[in-house]
């Protein structure tokens, strides 16, 4: 048999720049679908009890929610092609209610699939080289990466080949599929962390040594949930050829010594916290030294094979700035606002990165209708080599758009209700599904996000406020990442009433910090008032060009708490 | 208890000795970990001795006994407790060549995982064997033809297969 280059020919505007399955990947996913079909059959026949079925259902992405099953589809490292996006739309129409929900971990969730339909949905995903494997369960989850991978100007190396390498290594791992708890890995290759690696079980930061070699800084034990922790560096530089061996060493230490007596203390962050990073490092180093690393020794060739799929698309040589863009901005203020807020710098002259916000004012954060998915697929083919990304902020990215094309793209998006110019602003809210869908939730999240979004519906005011991360979770499991929101909102239940706890000062980047509690919880109705008070105080106090989090750091948490207290004593309703 | 090996339910040639039972002179017997040292002393050099150990056992605790043991059975307190998989790996790495058993309420869907980590046989309670018959275990054996990992037993490695493709 001869080597076959399975990459699609590099045609303009064709989906060429993502990993393509070879015969082995394809067979692997088909076998998983067949296996799950059989597991469903055996569950229905009684051969498997619900307790026995559960981990296998979860490992195939099927989760039991409040009202129905939820199917969580992996979008590995957030990259998908136009063809894949169309398939997601088709599935939403055929087996769900015509929409899907993009999550904070680069997954797409369908909220209403039937158990018996799930194998067919997985089959439909396999047709376009997708799956739902390990998007749930106590295993290594979908590996996430910087959504600006490959196009960010501040990048050392595209993190996606590493993430794909890890996707394969972690898939159906014989040893690490029954861990104490779920295990999440994120990778970034840039100077700015857009993948929140400090709050993952393992965060990988691609770094270059003094001698120019590429390797990984490995961070372990970060996480949100009921006990948030910032990850700690377990090793500063792991050469690429040792990456899998080193990760196996960490996983083995966690699998053996992670707590299993209490599921709330079972994450690796608790192990690191209780033992201390030095003891964990010693255990990992000892395991690494003892293991047979020869089985990993040939992997650089495989890495290069994978990296080949992420080669840059055939960009045109263009001037760094576009005259037509400048003219269109002057002509159409709404477009100018969109460009100023949602369009970012690209590493190639004349190109731009476009964030398509899934946070329309008053909408459900992260939801997209099948029609919108198709528009996004079309837009990516017309203007961006057929490639799309999903960000952990629950937005869609078109990573390679010519500046000259931005106006035409904007018009297309605007016609589909997809041109909300709020990327990174106060209404670009991360929210978990909350009590509207989730059986774990203690309070609603989506309606809170909608109310805040409506309160700040004046877009010029939002732009004046500037970048501000608001993140909402409907329970202490923190799926909405409230701990790392500059403003975090946690929905709890107190005496049968929803109560919202506000935190300030969270940061998901390399300078990671966990938000601090502002004061007693408030009711759902009061949340927009409180946020507005905080924002007004910030606007009054901020220095030139200072972001909310920086003002908070400069003034200190006490100043914000005082504000809260004074307002309370004055009888104001907060 | 039912014993599964190579996708078939087989008769068990080993006998699990209760702790109050005296050591027999012959036959293949499995003792509990606390009795291991005494059993080795009493029975001397032979491969008809096996031991059942908790999944939290430190492999170093078995290091000296390994060459003299014919079987190690690792108990799984719950099928979802994956510690036994790592322990199996470590015992194989330490050079254990005898029969490695997973004992507990493992389900057929974990069979390939167990084989991958070095287990030869699975021992399950009868009520589970009634629900999950031989056919299901055999099917589980064939459910995955190939795996992404290297250095694990059983299925072929995709990485190896790819390298073969590139070479030829």
CA distance A88 to A380: 15
| B166 to A3: CB separation less than 8 angstroms, yes or no | yes
CA atoms within 13 A on the CB side of A278: 0
Instruction: Note the pLDDT of residue B44.
Output: 75
CA distance A134 to A56: 9
Q: State whether the Cα torsion A305-A306-A309-A312 is positive or negative.
A: negative
Residue A539 φ then ψ, to 5° = -60, -35
CA distance A355 to A344: 8
Mean pLDDT of B73-87: 98
Q: A 353-372 residues with CB below 8 A of B?
A: none
Instruction: Note the pLDDT of residue A567.
Output: 53
> What pTM does this model have?
0.93
Identify the CA nearest to A273 among candidates A321, A232, A314, A315.
A232
Of B85, B107, B165, which is closest to A175 when you measure between CB atoms? B85
Identify the CA nearest to A524 among candidates A501, A504, A500, A493.
A500
Distance from CA of B101 to the nearest CA of A (A): 15
Identify the weakest region by mean pLDDT among A183-197, A232-246, A467-481, B140-154. B140-154
Assigned fold of A323-415: Sulfite Reductase Hemoprotein; domain 2 (3.90.480)
| CB of B147 less than 8 A from some CB of A | yes
| CB of B168 less than 8 A from some CB of A | yes
C-beta neighbour count of A217 within 10 angstroms:
17
Residues with Cβ within 8 Å of A135's Cβ and at least 6 positions away in sequence, in order, are A61, A72, A73, A74, A107, A141, A142
Identify the CA nearest to A476 among candidates A273, A268, A265, A227.
A227
* Nearest chain B alpha carbon to A35: B143
Instruction: Note the pLDDT of residue A10.
Output: 40
Return the higher-pLDDT residue of A2 and A189. Answer: A189
Residue A88 φ then ψ, to 5° = -60, -40
Chain B environment of A37 (Cβ under 8 Å) = none
| CB of B161 less than 8 A from some CB of A | yes
Mean pLDDT of A484-504: 95
Does residue A385 contact residue A15 with C-beta atoms inside 8 Å? Answer: yes
CATH class of the domain defined by A144-308: alpha beta
Mean pLDDT of B96-105: 97
Of A2, A34, A178, which is closest to B85 when you measure between CB atoms? A178
Of A1, A3, A27, which is closest to B145 when you measure between CB atoms? A27
| CB of A37 less than 8 A from some CB of B | no
Does residue B73 contact residue B103 with C-beta atoms inside 8 Å? Answer: yes
Instruction: Note the pLDDT of residue B157.
Output: 87
Is the fold of A144-308 the same as that of A323-415? no
Q: Which two tokens stand for residue A359?
A: 């946070």
Mean pLDDT of A145-161: 96
Q: A 164-223 residues with CB below 8 A of B?
A: 168-169, 171-179
Identify the CA nearest to A383 among candidates A362, A357, A412.
A412
DSSP A77: G
CA distance B62 to A555: 59
Q: Which two tokens stand for residue A493?
A: 């239940």
Mean pLDDT of A368-377: 98
Instruction: Note the pLDDT of residue B7.
Output: 95
C-beta neighbour count of A447 within 10 angstroms:
19
Identify the CA nearest to B88 among candidates B78, B103, B102, B77.
B102
CA atoms within 13 A on the CB side of A367: 17
Angle between helices A406-415 and A333-342 in degrees, nearest 10: 100
Instruction: Note the pLDDT of residue B152.
Output: 86
A374-386 tens-digit pLDDT: 999 999 999 999 9
For chain A, give the mean pLDDT.
93
Does residue B158 contact residue B146 with C-beta atoms inside 8 Å? Answer: yes
Instruction: Note the pLDDT of residue A574.
Output: 38
Mean pLDDT of A518-544: 95
* Nearest chain B alpha carbon to A166: B148
Instruction: Note the pLDDT of residue B163.
Output: 81
A9-65 tens-digit pLDDT: 444 444 457 899 999 999 999 999 999 999 999 999 999 999 999 999 999 999 988
Residue A472 φ then ψ, to 5° = -125, 130
| CB of B146 less than 8 A from some CB of A | yes
Q: Which two tokens stand for residue A155?
A: 């990048």
ipTM: 0.96
DSSP A45: H
Domain layout of chain B by residue ranges: 2-167
Mean pLDDT of A245-261: 97
Which CATH entry fits the domain spanning B2-167: 3.40.50, 1.25.40, 2.30.30, 1.10.3470? 3.40.50
| CB of B152 less than 8 A from some CB of A | yes
| A301 to B163: CB separation less than 8 angstroms, yes or no | yes
Domain layout of chain A by residue ranges: 144-308, 323-415, 431-569
CA distance B135 to B132: 8
DSSP symbols for B137-159: HHHHHHS-SEES-SS-SSSEEHH
Residue A570 has pLDDT above 60, yes or no: no
- Locate the DSSP E strands across A435-507: 470-473, 487-494, 497-504
Mean pLDDT of B101-128: 97
CA distance A488 to A504: 6
DSSP A190: B
Assigned fold of A431-569: Sulfite Reductase Hemoprotein; domain 1 (3.30.413)
C-beta neighbour count of A326 within 10 angstroms:
13
Secondary structure of residue A36 in the 3-state scheme:
helix
Does residue A404 contact residue A325 with C-beta atoms inside 8 Å? Answer: yes
Q: In what order do the strands lie in the sheet with B14-16?
A: B8-10, B2-5, B121-124, B99-104, B71-76, B49-53, B28-32, B14-16
C-beta neighbour count of A51 within 10 angstroms:
12
Residue A569 has pLDDT above 70, yes or no: no
Instruction: Note the pLDDT of residue A16.
Output: 53
Q: A 126-145 residues with CB below 8 A of B?
A: 138
Instruction: Note the pLDDT of residue A12.
Output: 43
| CB of B113 less than 8 A from some CB of A | yes
């Amino acid at each position: 048999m001869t080597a076959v280059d399975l990459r699609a020919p590099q045609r303009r505007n064709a989906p060429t720049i993502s990993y393509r399955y070879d015969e082995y990947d394809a067979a692997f996913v088909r076998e998983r679908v067949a296996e799950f079909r059989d597991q469903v059959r055996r569950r229905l026949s009684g051969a498997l009890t619900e307790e026995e079925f559960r981990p296998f259902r979860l490992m195939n992405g099927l989760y039991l929610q409040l009202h129905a099953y939820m199917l969580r589809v992996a979008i590995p490292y957030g990259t998908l092609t136009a063809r894949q996006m169309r398939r997601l739309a088709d599935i939403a129409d055929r087996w769900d209610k015509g929409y899907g929900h993009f999550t904070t971990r680069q997954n797409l969730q369908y909220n209403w699939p039937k158990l018996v339909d799930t194998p067919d949905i997985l089959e439909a995903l396999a047709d376009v080289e997708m799956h739902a494997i390990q998007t749930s369960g106590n295993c290594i989850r979908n590996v996430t990466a910087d959504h600006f991978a490959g196009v960010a100007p501040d990048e050392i190396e595209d993190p996606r080949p590493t993430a794909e390498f890890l996707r394969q290594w972690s898939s159906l791992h014989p040893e690490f599929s029954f861990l104490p708890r779920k295990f999440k890995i994120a990778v970034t290759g840039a100077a700015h962390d857009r993948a929140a690696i400090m709050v993952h079980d393992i965060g990988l930061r691609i770094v270059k040594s003094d001698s120019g070699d590429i390797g990984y800084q490995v961070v372990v034990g970060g996480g949100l949930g009921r006990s948030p922790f910032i990850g700690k560096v377990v090793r500063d530089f792991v050469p690429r050829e040792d990456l899998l061996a080193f990760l196996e060493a960490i996983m083995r230490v966690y699998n053996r010594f992670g707590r299993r007596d209490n599921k709330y203390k079972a994450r690796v962050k608790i192990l690191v916290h209780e033992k201390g990073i030095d003891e964990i490092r010693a255990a990992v180093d000892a395991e690494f030294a003892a293991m047979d690393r020869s089985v990993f020794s040939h992997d650089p060739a495989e890495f290069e094979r994978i990296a080949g799929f992420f080669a840059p698309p055939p960009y045109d040589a263009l001037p760094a700035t576009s005259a037509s863009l400048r003219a269109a901005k002057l002509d159409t203020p709404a477009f100018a606002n969109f460009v100023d807020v949602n369009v970012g710098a690209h590493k190639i002259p004349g190109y731009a990165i476009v964030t398509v916000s899934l946070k329309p004012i008053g909408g459900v954060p992260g939801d997209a209708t099948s029609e919108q998915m198709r528009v996004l697929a079309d837009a990516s083919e017309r203007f961006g080599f057929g490639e799309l990304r999903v960000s952990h902020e629950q937005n869609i990215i078109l990573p390679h758009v010519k500046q000259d094309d931005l106006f035409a793209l904007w018009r297309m998006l605007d016609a589909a209700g997809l041109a909300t110019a709020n990327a990174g602003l106060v209404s670009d809210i991360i929210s978990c599904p909350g009590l509207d869908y989730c059986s774990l939730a203690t309070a609603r999240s989506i309606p809170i996000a909608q109310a805040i979004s409506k309160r700040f519906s004046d877009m010029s005011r939002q732009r004046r406020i500037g970048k501000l991360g608001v993140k909402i979770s409907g329970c202490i499991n923190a799926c909405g990442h409230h701990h790392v929101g500059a403003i975090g909102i946690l929905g709890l239940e107190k005496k049968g009433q929803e109560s919202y706890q506000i935190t300030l000062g969270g940061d998901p980047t390399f300078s990671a910090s966990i938000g601090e509690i502002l004061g007693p919880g408030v009711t759902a109705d009061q949340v927009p008032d409180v946020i507005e008070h905080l924002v007004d105080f910030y606007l009054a106090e901020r220095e030139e060009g200072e972001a909310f989090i920086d003002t908070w750091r400069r003034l200190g948490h006490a100043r914000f708490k005082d504000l809260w207290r004074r307002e309370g004593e004055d009888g104001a309703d907060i | 208890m039912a014993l599964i090996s190579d996708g078939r339910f087989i008769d068990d040639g080993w006998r699990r000795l209760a702790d109050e039972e005296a050591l027999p002179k012959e036959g293949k017997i499995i003792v509990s970990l606390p009795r291991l040292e005494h059993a080795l002393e009493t029975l001397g050099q032979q491969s008809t001795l096996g031991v059942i150990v908790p999944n939290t056992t430190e492999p170093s605790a078995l290091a000296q006994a390994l060459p003299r043991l014919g079987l190690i059975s690792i108990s799984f307190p719950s099928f979802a407790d994956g510690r036994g998989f790592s322990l199996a790996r470590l015992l194989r790495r330490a050079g254990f060549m005898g029969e490695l058993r997973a004992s507990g309420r493992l389900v057929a869907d974990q069979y390939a995982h167990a084989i991958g980590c070095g287990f030869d046989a699975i021992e399950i309670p009868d009520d589970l064997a009634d629900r999950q018959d031989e056919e299901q275990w055999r099917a589980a054996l064939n459910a995955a033809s190939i795996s992404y990992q290297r250095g694990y037993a059983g299925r072929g490695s995709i990485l190896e297969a790819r390298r073969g493709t590139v070479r030829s």
